[in-house]
């Protein structure tokens, strides 16, 4: 990351020309060495971090606050600015740094504060600097002026500004696995992909030998054009093409997973099993358990209630880890394919809730979401409109 005096647009160039040391790191604009007054009424320096976004190459302000790596600022007379300027004093990781507070201070009227990044950042710099210069007349965020840029590696083709705005980078880093597989892309598996693709996992491998047809097009997220539905496309190829518009690392395997190709799962860090064939489920589950690869098995069931002219729907999510490999024996592995030809009812809303429950459980496993009960199995029933746990 080399420093220079040429910024990518006039907004940032103005900061450089006025002597500020700034850097653009992913979705964050950073001003270094911002002076402020500490609780001890001594001079301190912190780094100011703002979310940064562009639309068609033009800087676009997302919010009015900034993160600050310095401690809670004070006035030069020793009065805390916490109530006046600090929106959040809980330490959090932002742009690879520990921000000790989040500053929020809008002038009344707000005027042109949010018309450009120069105005937004200098608004906060001047506020802190006015008290700092009263302690030390030489205190200033201005120096020789420089600009550096660090393009953070990402699997996504465009930045996730919502993550940057909420300061969730450290949380999302827990989801940066190298390789995850989804076995079965009909219904629930396709919805799992829809959610998983929005996480920063490096590679998502798709396994399914079926083609897209009208009956399963109703259980794929989004809407498929009619020529695609009748185009004899392999599910995994079509989904790879679709999601590759959004991100990298989608790998298509247009084949069913069987004993001959189980080895393709050997270096996965996690696997989702979303198949409706019992023996295949058992084969894959036993292989993963023996290889100590954690996985989630999903399934839905729909029963007709002719006397009521209603359907009874349910969904199941089972998380199996190296410590709970015994759960493999409880998975439905019977060969009921003959009955399933006419009785395997699939509904998009059940596929979707099954997938979302699986994704939440997956993220709990990776310590992204809180998990107070750590269930091995989650069962959802429509008639109760609730989940039970085992």
Residue 343 pLDDT > 90: no
Quick one: pLDDT at residue 169? 86
Residue 29 pLDDT > 50: yes
Quick one: pLDDT at residue 285? 98
Strongest mean pLDDT among 24-28, 214-218, 361-365: 361-365
* Alpha-carbon torsion angle 282, 283, 284, 289, nearest 10: 80
Give the confidence band of 337 by pLDDT, cuts at 50, 70, 90: low
How far are the Cα atoms of 4, 82, 126, 135, 142 from residue 43, in angstroms, in the given order? Answer: 28, 17, 15, 7, 15
Residue 275 pLDDT > 80: yes
303-315 pLDDT tens trace: 999 999 999 999 9
Relative to beta strand 270-273, strand 295-305 is parallel
How far are the Cα atoms of 22, 339, 372, 378 from residue 207, in angstroms, in the given order? Answer: 46, 24, 33, 24
266 three-state secondary structure: coil
Residue 341 pLDDT > 50: no
Selected residue with higher pLDDT from 151 and 341: 151
Relative to beta strand 86-88, strand 101-103 is antiparallel
140-199 pLDDT tens trace: 999 999 999 987 788 999 888 888 888 888 899 999 999 999 999 989 999 999 999 999
Q: Which structural domains are found in the chain, ordered by start?
A: 8-165 (no CATH), 175-387 (3.40.50.720)
Give the confidence band of 3 by pLDDT, cuts at 50, 70, 90: low
Q: Average model confidence (pLDDT) for the chain?
A: 93
Q: What are phi and psi of 180, to 5 degrees?
A: -130, 140
Mean pLDDT of 60-75: 95
pTM of the model: 0.85
């Amino acid at each position: 990351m080399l420093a220079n005096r040429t910024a990518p647009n006039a907004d940032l160039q103005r900061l450089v020309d006025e002597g500020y040391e700034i850097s653009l790191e992913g979705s964050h604009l950073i001003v270094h060495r911002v002076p402020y007054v500490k609780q001890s009424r001594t001079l301190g320096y912190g780094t100011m971090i703002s979310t940064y976004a562009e639309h068609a190459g033009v800087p676009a302000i997302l919010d009015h606050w900034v993160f600050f790596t310095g401690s809670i600022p004070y006035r030069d007379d020793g009065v805390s600015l916490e109530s006046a300027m600090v929106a959040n004093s809980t330490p959090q990781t932002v742009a690879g740094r520990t921000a000790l507070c989040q500053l929020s201070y809008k002038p009344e009227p707000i005027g042109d504060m949010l018309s450009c990044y120069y105005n937004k950042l200098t608004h906060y710099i001047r506020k802190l600097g006015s008290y700092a210069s009263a302690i030390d007349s030489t205190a200033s965020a201005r120096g020789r002026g420089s600009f550096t840029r660090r393009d953070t590696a990402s699997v996504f083709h465009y930045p996730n500004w919502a993550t940057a705005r909420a300061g969730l980078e450290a949380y999302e880093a827990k989801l940066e696995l190298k390789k995850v597989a989804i076995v079965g892309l009909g219904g629930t598996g396709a919805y799992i992909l829809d959610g998983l693709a929005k996480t920063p996992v490096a590679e998502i491998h798709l396994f399914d030998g079926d083609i897209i047809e009208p009956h399963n097009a109703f259980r794929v997220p989004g809407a498929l054009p009619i020529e695609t539905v009748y185009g004899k496309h392999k599910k995994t190829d079509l989904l790879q093409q679709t999601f590759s518009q959004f991100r990298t690392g989608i790998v298509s395997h247009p084949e069913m997973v069987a004993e001959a190709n189980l080895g393709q799962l050997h270096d996965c860090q996690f696997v989702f099993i979303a198949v409706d064939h019992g023996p295949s489920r058992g084969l894959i589950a036993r292989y993963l358990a023996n290889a100590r690869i954690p996985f989630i098995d999903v399934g839905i069931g729909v029963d007709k209630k002719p006397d009521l002219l209603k359907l009874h729907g349910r969904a199941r999510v089972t998380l199996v880890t190296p410590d709970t490999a015994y759960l493999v024996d409880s998975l439905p592995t019977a060969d009921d394919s003959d009955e399933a030809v006419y009785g395997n009812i699939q509904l998009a809303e059940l596929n979707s809730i099954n997938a979302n429950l699986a994704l939440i459980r997956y993220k709990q496993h990776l310590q992204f979401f809180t998990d107070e009960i750590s269930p091995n199995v989650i069962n959802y029933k429509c008639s109760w409109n609730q989940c039970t746990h085992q």
